[in-house]
Amino acid sequence: MAGLIRSSIGSIRFKGTELIGLSAHGIVELGIATVPEHRCLFGPMSVMENLVLGAFAPRARANTKSMLDRIFDLRQFKNS
């Protein structure tokens, strides 16, 4: 679904948009991302570096600060 492995048959739609044939970064722009299941995927990197790494799509890059602020606000809410 995330476009990392190409489908040879079938159809995948998200909010009316056909995903088959879109590039992986095009799918990310629609709001779909792959979330790794294992911790420490990029172990030598800091938490901040791991979070910023996810902001590689142009729209995400433009909103990195506001997204990081939102993430840290969620963390504070969870711990209160």
Give the span between the Cα atoms of 26 and 57, in whole angstroms. Answer: 9
Kindly give the residue spans of alpha helices, DSSP state H, lying in 1-80: 24-29, 47-53, 58-62, 64-79
Task: Give the model's pLDDT for residue 40.
Answer: 61
Phi, psi for residue 36 in degrees, rounded to 5:
-60, 145
pLDDT for 16 equals 92
Alpha-carbon dihedral angle through residues 79, 69, 56, 63, given to the nearest 10 degrees: 150
- 22-65 tens-digit pLDDT: 888 888 888 887 776 666 666 788 878 877 877 776 777 778 88
Residue type for position 37: E
